[in-house]
Amino acid sequence: MFLHVQRMLNEIAPDEPDPAAANALQEGLGGQFGEMRTMMQYLFQSFNFRGPTGKPFRDLLYGIGTEEIGHVELIASTIAQLVDGSPRYQGNPSNLDEPGAGGATPLNIALSGGNIHHWLVGAQGALPVDAQGDPWTGKYVYDSGNLPLNLLYNLMLESTGRLQKCRLYEMTDNKTARSTIAYLIVRDQAHENSYAKALECLGVEWNKLLPIPKTNAEQFPEVKQLTDQGLQSKQYTFSLDQLSEAGRIIQGTSPSKDGTSMSMEQAPEGIPFPGIAVERPEEFGPGLDPDLMELVQATAEMEMQAESAPPQWGPANA
């Protein structure tokens, strides 16, 4: 069972709308080596886990898989923020046939690059596709049922994800994009370290190979800020009860040989949710005319039952 808090794993920096950067970031969301894939792959490996003595390995997979759902939330929200407002339409909402700034039609931007679906199918939001517009597919999920193979694949998967994110970093200097890219670079390295550690438990000695890729990502200032905090060597259980045993694996020196030690915590603090995005009349989104808005308002004024709910969840409360 999964639960949610209205907190984001990392802060999304403010900057100008940038649909080209948004489109590139789609690879990190819905691409073959993106967050939807790592999330689904680790969750399926958790659901199908076999071998009772391997519980610490299953709990590790569950922990990283749960973190990845939050990564999907983070990168999708980043993409939405990058596309939102990109048409820069300032015209009269009640007369959309009137050209906007520059004399262009309100959604003219959609014709000139990136993914036209960002404006045509969605309403300036994220899509479950990659940077070429190809939809995410279940074919990406790898679960051979063989633990060493799964761990080897997961290590390769995180490394490739990090490689692509380092390339993404070099494609754009938009601050919104880079704040999330940098965070995911460091977390991918943390996951690479975790899987490498699990393979060390099975007898591999990495010597000079790790980390792969050798990007010296500390040269990227946003990355350096996070590695200085040792975020690449922390793993989280994201587990509300006391049952995760993943900490048995995640300890000792980092396989990346950067002088840090691996450690396990429950969850990061995160930051409060950003505000909800404004209306975009040129998208007919959310599409509430005055009549409907009045009905929504009536709902918002009702007494909220949930307010008397218990402050925290836990098996003890059940």
Subset of residues 28 to 47 that bind its own copies, contact rule: CB under 8 A = 30-32, 36, 40, 43-44, 47
Nearer to its own copies by Cβ, of 14 and 72: the residue is 72
Which tokens is 291 given? 């009549």
Sole residue written with tokens 């959604």: 107
Residue 224 vs residues 32, 76, 191: alpha-carbon distances, Å: 27, 24, 17
> In the bound complex, what is the minimum distance in angstroms from residue 39's beta carbon to its own copies?
9
Nearer to its own copies by Cβ, of 90 and 112: the residue is 112
> In the bound complex, what is the minimum distance in angstroms from residue 200's beta carbon to its own copies?
9
CA distance 131 to 119: 15
238, amino acid identity:
F
User: Peptide bond preceding 211: is omega within 30 degrees of 0, i.e. cis?
Assistant: yes
Question: By CB under 8 A, what part of segment 138-167 binds its own copies?
Answer: 138-139, 141, 143-149, 152-153, 155-156, 159-160, 163-164, 166-167
x/- contact string, 259-298, with its own copies (CB under 8 A)? ----xxxxxxxx--x-xxxxxx-xxxxxxxx-xxx-xxxx
Question: By CB under 8 A, what part of segment 180-209 binds its own copies?
Answer: 199, 201-209
192 known member of a binding site: no
Residue 198 vs residues 3, 17, 35, 252, 258: alpha-carbon distances, Å: 27, 41, 21, 12, 18
Q: How many residues bind its own copies (CB under 8 A)?
A: 183
Q: In this structure, is the dihedral angle defined by the CA atoms of residues 281, 285, 286 and 288, taken in order, positive or negative?
A: positive
> In the bound complex, what is the minimum distance in angstroms from residue 110's beta carbon to its own copies?
5
Question: By CB under 8 A, what part of segment 69-98 binds its own copies?
Answer: 69-70, 72-73, 76-77, 80, 94-97
Taking residue 90's Cβ as centre, other Cβ atoms within 10 Å add up to 9
Residue 229 as a binder of its own copies (CB under 8 A): the answer is no
158 known member of a binding site: yes
Contact status, residue 227 vs residue 186, Cβ threshold 8 Å: yes
Residue 11 as a binder of its own copies (CB under 8 A): the answer is no
Nearer to its own copies by Cβ, of 152 and 231: the residue is 152
222 known member of a binding site: no
x/- contact string, 94-133, with its own copies (CB under 8 A)? xxxx-x-----xxxx-xxxx-xxx-xxxxxxxxxxx-xxx
- Residue among 11, 13, 225, 245 that touches its own copies (CB under 8 A): 245
Residue 62 as a binder of its own copies (CB under 8 A): the answer is yes
Q: What is the Cα gyration radius of the chain?
A: 22
68 known member of a binding site: yes
Within 13 Å of residue 136, how many CA atoms lie on the same side as its CB? Answer: 22
Contact status, residue 119 vs residue 110, Cβ threshold 8 Å: yes
Q: In this structure, is the dihedral angle defined by the CA atoms of residues 243, 248, 251 and 256, taken in order, positive or negative?
A: negative
Return the DSSP state at 117.
H
Nearer to its own copies by Cβ, of 77 and 86: the residue is 77
